[in-house]
Amino acid sequence: MAHNKSYTLGELASLLNLKLVGDEQCAIHSLATLKNATPGQLSFLSNPSYINQLESCNASAVIVDAKFADACQASALISESPYVSFAEATALFDDSPAYEPSVHPSATIHSSVEIPDTAYVGPNVVIEPGAKLGADCVIGSGCFLGENVTLGKNCFLHSNVSIYHRVNVGNNVIIHSGTVIGADGFGFAFDGKKSVKIRQLGSVLIGNDVDIGSCTTIDRGALEDTVISDGVKIDNQVQIGHNCKIGEHSVICGCTGIAGSVTIGKYCVMGGASGAVGHINIADKVQVSAMSLVSESITEPGIYSSGTWHMKTSQWKRSNIRFQQLDSIAKRLKELENPTDKN
């Protein structure tokens, strides 16, 4: 939806399908946090920890759950899920640049490629033989689409995205700058003297409604394909190894590293800078805490963590010494619990 300069609260209530308590003619021109909002802006409360900011908020209106409406000094838009409603509101105020359908003269496009009339292809784009673009795609400057790449409808590739040969991308996919899809998986066989490269013969399949952040890499499969399912959201600087399968609507947070042949279920969350060793399975609805390493398969839903809490360096050093002594302590404890009869 195109950005409008302002909306009345009545219009916002209708567009967001929310109940309005307050002045329906009040004009809203932008969004803001509870702490920094000023008149003419819309804010939201999703975390009860910020309830004290609600009472002093200067926004003209706030998206809130019904149970907090009485604490709101401004007009209120009542929502069962304020954070989701806020997300929907951001689309109304989105001021990202609009791209008119066109092909920049500096783009290099193979003669076999048909560009839809509704697509935008920016400066210095390279599109190789056999590639296919769906309607309403935006291909930002400097992007590379290899042979036989397929993009579905309404895909948005920001500048300098590289998609290697035979990668298949679904509809409504957003890929941010610097990301590489379909590079070789890290596969080598050691012959006793040197590493022999294993040619990566698979590809990458990306479903519909997937978002991929900046400078992320998703490797192609060795024999079968790497699969990113519908609705998956991937943050910046994520590494996904060859032959991984990421289930529907899972979220992979920034700086996560996933080794090859890992299967992650549906509705999972891999916290920031977390990792997974290769050839394991993670069940549906698993949440892995930030900076945790998953070193074996997880078979039940739940929240999983590894590592230790931060502490002062002097305390960490003492704890590390104790950690190294655990094996000998366990042996001594076993001897105390089961003394040998020396008589």
Question: Annotated catalytic sites, by residue?
Answer: 242
Across 262-278, b (16+ Cβ under 10 Å) vs e yields bbbbbebbbbbebbbee
Q: How far, in Å, are 145, 219, 227, 248 from residue 224 at the CA level? A: 21, 12, 9, 19
Angstrom distance (rounded) from CA 290 to CA 312: 20
- 137: Cα separation from own chain's centroid: 20
Burial class of residue 26 (count of CB atoms within 10 Å of its CB; 0-12, 13-18, 19+): buried
Tokens 């590079």 sit on residue: 183
